[in-house]
Structure 1
Amino acid sequence: MNIVNRLTIRHLKENKKRTSVTIVGVIISVAMITAVATLSLSFMDLLQREHIKNEGEWHVLYKGVNDEQLSAVEADEQTEKVILSEDLGYAELDNSRNQNKPYLFVRAFNSSGFDQFPVELSEGRFPEASDEIVLSDHIADNAQVYYEIGDELTIDVGERQLTNEESSEAIGQSYSLRKTDQGLEEELIKTAEESYTITGFIERPTWEPVWAPGYTVLTAMDEETIDGNNRVDAYVVMDKVTRSVYDDAQQLADDNHIALFEFNNELLRYYGVTNSDGLVQRLYYISGLIIAVIIVGSVALIYNAFAISVSERSRHLGMLASVGATRRQKMNSVLFEGAVIGLISLPVGMLAGLLGIGTTFWFINSLLESALDLTEGLRVVVTPMLILISAVISLVTIFISAYLPARKASKISAIEAIRQTADVKLTKKKVKTPKIVRKLFGIEAEVALKNLKRNKRRYQITVFSLVISIVLFLSVSFFTSSLERSVALSQQGVTYDIEVYINESNRDIEEQLTASITSFPEVTESNTMQWLSAHSLVTEENLGEMTEEWAEEDPSMLYDGKFPYNADVYSLDDEALAEYAAEVGADPAVLHNETVPAGILVDMVSYYDYESEVYVESQVIKKETGNSITLSHFDWGTGEPTEETDVTIAALTDQLPMGANSGHETGLILFVSEDVFNSWLDTYAPGGPQTEVYLRSSDPLKTEEDINDMNSAHLSVYNLYRHRQQEEQMMTIISVFIYGFIVLITAISIANIFNTISTSLSLRKREFAMLKSVGMAPGAFTKMMNFESLFYGIKALLYGIPISIAVMYMMHHILMDAVRYSFSLPWLELLYVIIAVFVIVSASMMYAMSKIKKENIIDSLKQENI
């Protein structure tokens, strides 16, 4: 070790306080980078395990393969495991109490199927031969048909086929029982008689649709029967999940003439693999932007420590130069200091990051289990690549942070360093202050401003720290709100658990069914709506954003200068309408006027654009409250509107009552009273309206069973609870960690500002002692420091807020590829930032001043270092 490096280590040891502060800063930065990288892997791991637990583990499905094709799939080098499945068909379940579920659905698995798919054995054992079977507990619970282990079950297995269509294609579990008032619209075509011995019972599979007409029963597959005629489905678990899975599967299917295959896109997405190049690109952009924000914040944190170190060590470096140290040696001295600090901080920081994220998981997992009902918990996932990436990013961050001050140190001449004039420039022009400063704030403010101008480098470091903190907080909070808004757009209108369609023209029976459905004890809230369909011709000046573009591109879409819209008209009962009117600011009395009909019009809609594969929020029509729209029938044969009715707009809104789904760019949604709605039935719905009941329930699955137990052919039940629950769980988990990240960023930023300001003020002890020695009173000194705090805050906001807005707009521009909505500033977060900046700066100043006030003036004037 050369003499310069030995002196550097000695200097670090003698200045233990500053060295400790720098090491802590680097540890925090490394810990944050490691924690974020670990969090990403651990979160993806949770999603993978949760999906596998609920849906099973497979990556590619090859449908209807014969024995030769199966051999090729098994021999493929990418294949780790193959699960074979065959849907043998349906059989009638005698004495079933559930008329909507009259069948057994028989599926065969090979031995891997029982391991890879989420099949929970509640009693007995799994079948080991093709003449053994396990039954679902749901048969006893729901159909009230009872069997025992060891019973013999003989059934006629066949296919379901629709009776009112020419196609003879069989229908499966995804299709509910087809029936009308006149009876079933399907029949069971029996193909074979099968006899099984019951070996056990399983819990109702999570992959069985709630509307499925058959209770799942499972048997073992006889693989010897697979040939050119008897085909099976092959679910493949890949050896390594990479982006090439799509090309490899396509190539395998082409080479072996496999006509049908599909991917488990949801699970693959949790591995970071998707066949949507646009989505991958957006993920890379967003990830890169967030990582860049983290690195910039880390560089700022560490850079400040090294910059202050160089400023403090300027005399020491000048002395080295005076005895022959070259520019390269001075630069290497600072870089060596960074290497020493990095060598200590890197392992400690990485360990701290892992321990911190592990502790966070320990607390979070209880929340996930109790509040979100997740079966899996978060665990710390560490891979060699993660350690390597974290180490490289941290080393690059430390190098950049040390390199810039090192270059500055190398350029300091011996005379400048010893006299310490590098940071202080005493020219009249540089220290000139506006006269208005003294008039408004007094001579103390003028002295403060001159000091800041004299020590420009130091105050710039403090302002830079504040700016970085502002950008970090606003960027992450904006990303969080954008993510929440994106999910909200994709889920808009799905605010209920169960949707029930009532197909009954008799009003009395319909009301009885509605009353029965809404009276179940688990139902906490309900909303009954009827709707009819109409049309409306909208003039060019009133067209929405998208339709206006279409009309300009293709004027032939217009009819006499008007654009044809669809119009869905909903009725709400008096109580629901009154609540909805109060929410959107409409007068209920106006809505009940049949002579001059009025309604609440939805003018902003969100929908999924399948062509561009994005969610879009768009203004559907440009109208004002009090204007009117014209409803009509539109005869597409003659091209003429008929039966026109003018409707006054009582209110415009983007809010929807429970159950109402957001429309699309050419669809109007109108809510009216029952009286007005009934007066239009003969005109717009001579066959009767469609009635829908939307329910929120404390136990949606039990409510669904209760409705099915009504055994009414007039009801069709759709349970959206499961899907919505998964989406809400994911959003909650993401929000927890992103808000946790905001807290971490905020804490680090505050620590950074405290460190920068307090250390900067500590370096100015001699300056403050000099001011006090020439007669500055404590009150004047406090006033001077208050002005500095104000100056720091205003300066930081003037730079930080515009930069933050630019970063937020970049994020919005990237997200616009996936979700389209207008850019808006987060005003509340901006207010928080403005308040926080002044609070933090003031607190930092007060903390530093409390220490400075205790210093003796003589000792401070003699002091060379901290």
Structure 2
Amino acid sequence: MNIVNKLTLKYMKKNKSRTLVTIIGVIISVAMIAASSTIGASLMDMLKRSIIVQTGNWQSVWEEVPGSGVEKITGSPEIKKSLVSHTAGIGELPGSKNSQRPYIYILEYNSFDLSAITLKEGRFPKNENELVITTQMLETSGVTYLIGDKVKFTMGGRNIVENNVKIPLDNTYSFTKGEEFTKTGEKEYTITGIVDAKNKENSSRAAYVAFSGISENNIKSEESYTVYAGFNKLNKKIYNKSEKLKEESKAGKLAYNSELLLYAGITDDKEFNTTLTIAIGIVGSIILLGSVSLIYNAFAISLSERSRTLGMLASVGATKRQKRNSVFFEGFVIGCISIPIGLVSGYLGIGITFWLISPIMQNLFNVTVPLKLIISTYGFVGAVLFSILLLFISAWFPAKRASKITPIDAIRQTLDISIKKKNIKTSKLTRIIFGFEAELGLKNLKRNKHRYYATLFSMIISIVLFLTASAFSVFLKESFVMANAPINYDVSASVSGEDSEKIHRYTDELTNLNHINNAVVTESVNGTAVLNESMVSNDIKSRLEPEDGKYSLDVQIISMDDTSLSQYAKEAGIDEAKLKSNGMKGILINTFNLKEKHEYTTVTQLKIKPGDTIPLTYYYDEDKKLEGQIGIAAITDKVPLMLYGNQEYIGNLTILVSKQGLQSYVNQMEQSGMKLYPNINVYYITDKASELEKEIEAVKKNYPDLYSYTFNVITQRQKQERLSLIFSVFLYGFVILIATVCTANIINTISTGINMRKREFAMLKSYGITPAGFQKMIRYESIFYGLKALLYGLPVSFIVIYLVYKALSRNFDFIFFLPWVNILIAIISVFLIIGFTMIYAVRKTSKDNIIDVLKNENL
């Protein structure tokens, strides 16, 4: 160890408090880096495991794979695990008491490892003669099968006859009145287990799902299979590998578990990848800047203290390199101590936090997977390298400045203290308005320019960091809301048929059940609008192709019950009376969020105004059509309860009308020779979705000749709400973390600066400044610091906030806004933190003896 390094160590030991403050600052920064990377990794891990529970642990699925091509996929060295699925067929479910679900649909699996099917009792099937049934079937079908039972099913196919043509119905179709079941044979199975398969069951379909096995080496070359696969390595090459395997296996279709891949950091959407990279870069930059500003100030202030020592070293022959390396060596020593402690502190702190909140989150948000502490190798190495980088950057400028210190400059302190008249000049108004003490405080700030700039820079960076982190979190929240547009109802029931009187009687019963908080009844008919180019927006023109200069759009006309329509019109600020004038007039929902892959854009459909009409066309009997029109009474962007906030196709127009308006239009169409059968739906808000669903099923049994099904979205809705809450917890946690670092940064910088000004304060007191005058000077210094920091910090913050917005708006097209609440918090906090810190630090120095302080050269 050379002499300069020995002197550096000696200085660090002598000034223990300064060294300790620097070490603590670095520990806080490193802990923040470690915690941030771990929070991100842990959140993604939890979301990934949650998706696996819901969909299965596979990345790619090939459908319509010939038996001869299955081995091409399952035997590929790229594939870690695979699941081969085959449709055994559909059969009648003997003893089913659910009139809308009289069938059983049997799938054969060679393995259940990659599936989201959970075994509740017994064991999984091993061959084609064994079967597991679902808890959902046992709960709602009325059958009572036990493990070990042998059950024989009549297998066959569903079909319906239209115009003397037999049309087959697959398992995606709901039960249809008048459909037939054609027997093809019988099959006996032994029940080996009971499983939970929520993701495979759909209450609107006519068949329950059950699972059989596939014997080893029993893949038949003439049959068609579906193959799910998990890859050995998760990276973007999955897409090319999957396409290659599709060609080699001659599969008909290829799909991906996009949500699982997304949470694993893999997507083929280049635009989304860019946005994600920018977002990660923003977070990393915020953390780096916060850490650098915290540590840089420690080194800069340390250099101010050591300037005389470095000057003396220069007088005895120390080179620029040795002086520069002295600062780097100080950083090295501090890093060796701080980085390990910071990493351990960060991981330990987050680990304890996760351990405490995981059970609460599981109970509160009803998530099945716990929150785990994930420390990835890349994350750990990245945290270490990131910490070394921030120490190097923080020490670079002070080290460069140290190399320039000459003996004369060090003695005179010309690098720190400027006494040029123009540099310390203040406005005459300062003394007139605020008094002598304020002018003195302002001159003192300007005199030691490097300490002043370091403190000011620290506060500006803290303001920018806090507001950027706040805006980033608010914008991410806005993006999350766009991506997960809320479902506004809990349960829906639909009904259709030819007996309108019976349908309305059934609907009346559905609106008078016990477990209802609110219910909206809708009737809807569909048509087509062929519009001139002048009527459609640029959003449509850029996405749809015209035919003969005109755009063909699908139109859904929806009526709402009178009470719901009145409430909706009031909330949307629309005069309901306009909807009930002569003819059918409606409210056009002209603006909504459009989802295109990972892009979410607010779009407008038509260039029309209230009072205009939209032409309607109805096609029937292949070559016949009827013309009509609908008047537009109002235009809005408010989405009613029964519609999703996001749409995936821009060519669907939605128009809301009154119940009477729709009925008159249906009558008009009927008089013109076309019978319209409106689709009727009831949308519920309820606290007890399961009980309400049972009530609906009980009513449904009294109307066996009507086609009706129930859709319970409470689970999906709760999932969105839970995800939103979890997302908010992590975002606000990030903001609080940054706010804590910013606060620590300001407190550390100001308190250290005050401590270094002990001689200055002692000198002022020796010249006779009164305690009241001294306190007044400190108060005005606080105000000047706060105003100057806000003067620079707010404009810079606004620019950075806008850049953050532009980065995220590449995929999420929401309107730019400023987080005014956070801005107000920042303004108030700056003055409070500066004021309290300076008052506290000054009070600590007030007890010092003036003579002792003036004699101390280290101050």
Normalised to the residue count of structure 2, the TM-score between the two structures is 0.90
Partner letter of residue 71 of structure 1? E
Stretch of structure 1 that moved more, 734-743 or 681-690 = 681-690
- Does the aligned pair in 2 maintain the 1:493–1:660 contact within 8 Å? no
| Structure 2 residue aligned with 1:21 | 21
User: What is the CA–CA distance in structure 2 between the aligned matches of 1:452 and 1:682, rounded to whole Å?
Assistant: 84
Which digits, 9 at most, give the CA deviation of each residue in 1:759-792, with x for residues without a partner?
1111111112222222322222222222222222
Pairing 1:441–2:434 present: yes
Partner of 1:453: 446
The CA deviation string for residues 57-97 of structure 1, in whole angstroms up to 9 with x for no partner, is 12222334455433333332212222222220111012311
Rounded Cα–Cα distance in structure 1 between residues aligned with 2:533 and 2:76: 59
Instruction: Find the residue that maps to 1:211 and give its secondary structure.
Output: coil
Query: CA offsets, 1:518-567, max 9 Å, x none?
Result: 3444433322233456789999999766369899x999857xxxx99876
Q: Give the Cα separation in 1 of the matches to 2:487 and 2:192.
A: 41
Matched, 1:628 2:611: yes
* Distance in 1 (alpha carbons) for counterparts of 2:812 and 2:454: 38
Which shows bigger deviation, 144-153 or 333-342?
144-153
3-state SS of paired residue (2:83) = strand
* Pairwise CA RMSD: 3.3
Q: Bigger shift: 256-265 or 393-402?
A: 256-265
Partner of 2:71: 71
Aligned pair partner of 1:618 in 603, 606, 613: 603
The residue aligned with 1:157 is: 155
Q: Which moved more, 1:476-485 or 1:507-516?
A: 507-516
Where in structure 2 are the equivalents of 1:65-214 lying within 5 Å?
Answer: 65-66=65-66, 68-110=68-110, 112-113=111-112, 115-161=113-159, 163-164=161-162, 172-173=170-171, 175-180=172-177, 183-184=178-179, 187-214=180-207
Deviation at 1:55, TM superposition (A): 2.1
Q: Which moved more, 1:193-202 or 1:7-16?
A: 193-202
Asked if the contact 2:762/2:854 (under 8 Å) is kept, the reply is: yes
Matching residue of 2:295: 302
Deviation of residue 635 (structure 1)? 8.6
Q: Secondary structure at the match of 1:58?
A: coil
Letter in structure 2 aligned against 1:460: Y
Inter-partner Cα distance in structure 1 for 2:459 and 2:98: 66
Distance 1:669 1:255 in 2: 44
Shift of 1:203: 3.1
With 446-455 and 194-203 compared, the bigger mean Cα shift is at: 194-203
Moved more, 401-410 or 269-278: 269-278
**Residue 48 (structure 1) aligned with residue 48 (structure 2):** yes
Report the 3-state secondary structure (helix = DSSP H, G, I; strand = E; otherwise coil) of the residue aligned with 2:421.
Answer: coil
- Alpha-carbon separation, structure 1, partners of 2:757 and 2:626: 82
Give the alignment partner of residue 658 of structure 1, picking from 641, 660, 664: 641
Aligned counterpart, 1:691: 680
- What residue identity is the alignment partner of 1:616? T
Equivalence map 1:240-279=2 (5 Å): 240-279=233-272
C-alpha change, 1:148 and 1:818, in structure 2 (3 Å) is same
Shift of 1:572: 3.5
Task: Say if 2:370 is the partner of 1:377.
Answer: yes
Amino acid at match of 2:600: Y
Counterparts of 1:719 and 1:409, CA distance in 2 = 70
* Partner SS, residue 694 of structure 1: strand
**Cα offset for 1:378?**
1.3
Cα shift readout 1:643-665 (whole Å, capped 9, x = no counterpart): 6665544xx65333311345776
Distance 2:160 2:357 in 1: 50
Q: 1:162 to 1:354 in 2, by over 3 A?
A: farther
The percent of aligned pairs where both chains have the same amino acid is 36
CA contact (8 A) 1:605 1:665 kept: no
Amino acid of the structure 2 residue aligned with 1:693:
V
Give 1:235's aligned amino acid: Y
- SS of the equivalent of 1:217 reads strand
1:357 counterpart = 2:350: yes
Please give the alpha-carbon distance, in whole angstroms, between the structure 1 residues aligned to 2:243 and 2:552. Answer: 43
Compute the displacement of 1:232 (Å): 3.0
Counterpart check, 1:5 vs 2:2: no
The answer on whether the counterparts of 1:535 and 1:631 sit within 8 Å (CA) in structure 2 is no
| Alignment check: 8 A CA contact 2:530 2:616 kept | no
Match of 1:474 in 2: 467
The 3 A distance-change label for structure 1 pair 622 and 275 is: closer
Whether the aligned pair in 2 keeps the contact of 1:543 and 1:621 (CA below 8 Å) is yes
Matched AA of 2:26? V
Q: Which moved more, 1:659-668 or 1:248-257?
A: 659-668
SS at structure 2 position matched to 1:116:
coil
Instruction: For residues 204-239 of structure 1, give each alpha carbon's deviation from its aligned partner in whole angstroms, at most 9, with x where no partner exists.
Output: 443323323222222221233323213433322222
Paired letter, 2:601: V
State the alpha-carbon separation in 2 of the partners of residues 674 and 339 from structure 1: 77
Give the Cα–Cα distance (whole angstroms) in 1 for the partners of residues 505 and 627 of structure 2: 35
Give the residue type in structure 2 aligned to 1:687: L
Deviates more, 1:532-541 or 1:854-863: 532-541
Segment of structure 1 superposing worse, 374-383 or 571-580: 571-580
1:575 aligns with 2:563: yes
CA–CA distance in 2 between the matches of 1:307 and 1:528?
70
- 1:518 paired residue among 493, 511, 517: 511
Gap change, CA 1:2 and 1:170, over 3 Å in 2 = farther
Q: Does 1:387 align with 2:380?
A: yes
| CA drift at 1:316 | 1.7
CA gap of 1:648–1:356, structure 2 versus 1, over 3 A, is: same
Aligned to 1:229: 222
Given that 1:150 and 1:199 are in contact with CA atoms closer than 8 Å, whether structure 2 keeps it comes out as: yes
Structure 1 residues 666, 853: closer, same or farther in 2, change over 3 A?
farther
Q: Is the 8 A contact 2:70 2:249 kept in 1?
A: no
Question: Does the Cα contact within 8 Å between 2:272 and 2:599 map onto a contact in 1?
Answer: no
* Aligned partner letter, 2:848: E
Q: Quick check: 1:603–1:622 contact (8 Å CA) kept in 2? A: no
Equivalence for 1:283: 276
CA distance in 2, matches of 1:500, 1:106: 27
Q: CA deviation at 1:364?
A: 2.5
CA shift for structure 1 position 350: 0.5
Deviation at 1:474, TM superposition (A): 1.9
Deviates more, 1:442-451 or 1:386-395: 442-451
Residue deviations 1:586-633 (CA, integer Å, cap 9, x gap): 456x457636998665454222246xx621113556788xx5343544
Distance 1:229 1:618, change over 3 A: closer
Equivalences for residues 589-604 of structure 1 within 5 A? 590=577, 594=581, 602=589, 604=591
3-state SS of paired residue (2:57)? coil
- Deviation, 1:243, is 1.4
| d(CA) in 2 for partners of 1:363, 1:764 | 44
Q: Note the alpha carbon deviations across 1:278-314, whole angstroms, 9 max, x for none.
A: 2222211211121112111111111111111111111
Report the Cα distance in structure 1 between the residues aligned to 2:476 and 2:168, rounded to whole angstroms. Answer: 41
| Contact map agreement 2:584 2:665 (CA 8 A) in 1 | no
Change (3 A) 1:325 1:236: same
| Match in the other structure for 1:292 | 285
| Counterpart in the other structure of 1:368 | 361
Q: Which whole-Å CA distance do the structure 1 matches of 2:494 and 2:658 have between them?
A: 20
Shift in alpha-carbon separation, 1:246–1:622, aligned structure 2, 3 A: closer
Q: Match of 1:729?
A: 722
Kept after mapping to 1: 8 A contact 2:486/2:717: no
With over 3 angstroms needed to count, the CA separation of the structure-2 counterparts of 1:192 and 1:606, relative to structure 1, is same
Question: 1:409 corresponds to which residue?
Answer: 402
Deviations 1:240-293 (A, max 9, x none): 212111112222332343343332222222211122222222211211121112
Question: Counterparts of 1:102 and 1:538 in 2: how far apart (Å)?
Answer: 45
Q: Is this contact kept in 2: 1:97–1:143, CA < 8 A?
A: yes
Deviation at residue 751 of structure 1 after TM alignment: 0.7
